[in-house]
Amino acid sequence: MKKISFLSMCLFLYTIGFAQNINWLQRNGALKVVGGKILNSKNIEPQLRGVSLSWSVWQGKKYYNEDVVNWLQSDFNINLLRVSMAVQPDGGYLQNPVEQEELITKTIDAAIKKGLYVLIDWHDHNAHQHLNQSKNFFTKMAKKYSGKPNIIYEIFNEPEKIAWQTVKDYAIAVIKEIRKYDPKNIIVVGSSHWDQDVDLVAKDPIKGFDNIAYSFHFYASEPSHQELLMQRAEMAIASKLPIFVTEWGVGEANGDGKFDIDKTNRWFAWMEKNKLSSANWNLTDKNETTAILKPGAAAEGKWSMDTLTPAGLYIRTQLKNLNK
C-alpha cells in the first residue's frame, strides 16, 4: 500500500506540476517598443504568455477576483492577464460604468500585486462610436496606474469592418489622453477587420508617439485563419510593425467549433518563432471550445484537472512549460 500511495502521489505531482510565484515585473521591468519589437528593461524580448478573462458580464464575470488571479499565477504560470471590460452589452460599461470600473480595477490591482503584466482591454467592436466614453475611461486608468510598469492599454478590441483610417483617428485621440498622464507604458492599437489587417496597418502606422504596438488576433482552427493570415502577419513583422497577440483561441472564430491540435500547434510554434507576446481566449466556464473551464467550475480558482476543458489542459501545459 505504501508503494501504491507513493506512486500515486508522484503521479499527482507530475500532473499538477509545481506552483510557481515568479514576480515577472521584477524579472522584466518596464516594457518598451524599439525597432518594431517589444523589449524589457534589459533590451530582451520578454515574450509574455497568459490568458484573457472573458467579457466582464455574463458567465465570465465571476472570475474577476483576486483568488482567480492568484491561482492563474501560481498554477498556470501566467505572466500576463488580459482584463476584458465589456462595453456595449447589457450591463457593460455604457450602462454601468461605475460597476464595471470597480470590477476590473480590483482584478488589475490583484495582478499588479502578484507582479503580473495586465492588458486593460476596452472590449468594444465599435469603439470609434464611443470615443468620449473611451477617452474618459482611459484617462481614469492612466491617472490611476501611471508609474505602474505592469500596465498595458489595449484601446480598441477587434474593430469590425472599419477602415484603418477610422481606427487610426480614434486611436490617436485616445493615445493623446493617456499620454497626458502616462508617458511610457505600452499602448496597443487595434487593427481593422477584427485585428487581422496588420499588413495594411504596417503601410501607414501611427507616428509621433513612443511605445505603440498593434494587436493581431487569430483562431487556430478557423478555416480562414490559416496560411494567408499568417503571411499577412509576417509581412507586418518584416515591416517592423510591433505586434502583440492580445487574443487567440484554439477553436474557431465564434469561440466554438473544432479544436484542431495540429493547427493549434502550428500557430503556437509560429508565435514562439517570432517571440510574440499573447493572451489566450478565454477564462470562462461557458460550454464552448475555447473556454478554459468546464461548466460549473469554481469562482475561486483551485481547479482540478478534471475541471479543465481540452483547451484548458492544453493552455496550462504550454504555459507551465514555457513560463519559467
Phi then psi dihedrals of residue 319, to 5 deg? -65, -40
Question: Quick check: is 252 catalytic?
Answer: no
Dist. CA 202–CA 305, nearest whole Å: 42
Give me the pLDDT at residue 19, please. 59
pLDDT tens column, 153-167? 999 999 988 999 999
Q: Is the pLDDT of residue 11 over 90?
A: no
CA distance 142 to 151: 9
Least confident piece of the model among 76-85, 228-237, 248-257: 248-257
Catalytic-labelled residue, pool 154, 158, 222, 252: 158
User: pTM for the whole thing?
Assistant: 0.93
Give the domain ranges of the chain: 22-322
pLDDT at 8 over 70: no
Distance CA 179, CA 155 (A): 13
Q: What is the architecture of the domain spanning 22-322?
A: Alpha-Beta Barrel (3.20)
Q: What average pLDDT does the segment 173-187 reach?
A: 98
**pLDDT, mean of residues 114-132:** 96
Q: What's the pLDDT score for residue 18?
A: 54
In the predicted model, is pLDDT for residue 127 greater than 50?
yes
pLDDT tens digits for 96-113?
999 999 999 999 999 999
**pLDDT 10s digits, 54-91:** 999 998 899 999 999 999 999 999 999 999 999 999 99
Q: What is the mean pLDDT of the chain?
A: 92
181 SS3 class: coil
Instruction: Report the pLDDT averaged over residues 216-243.
Output: 92
Single out the residue of 140, 212, 214 nearest to residue 183, CA to CA.
Answer: 212
- Interval 33-60 mean pLDDT: 96
- Concerning whether 99 is annotated as a catalytic residue, the answer is no
The predicted structure's pLDDT at residue 14: 43
Q: What is the pLDDT of residues 289-320, one digit of tens each?
A: 999 999 999 999 999 999 999 999 999 999 99
Select the more confidently predicted residue: 222 or 144.
144
Which residue is catalytic, options 154, 177, 222, 247? 247
Among 3-12, 124-133, 153-162, 230-239, whose mean pLDDT is lowest? 3-12
Q: Give start and end residues of each alpha helix (H) in 114-258.
A: 131-145, 164-179, 192-195, 198-202, 227-238
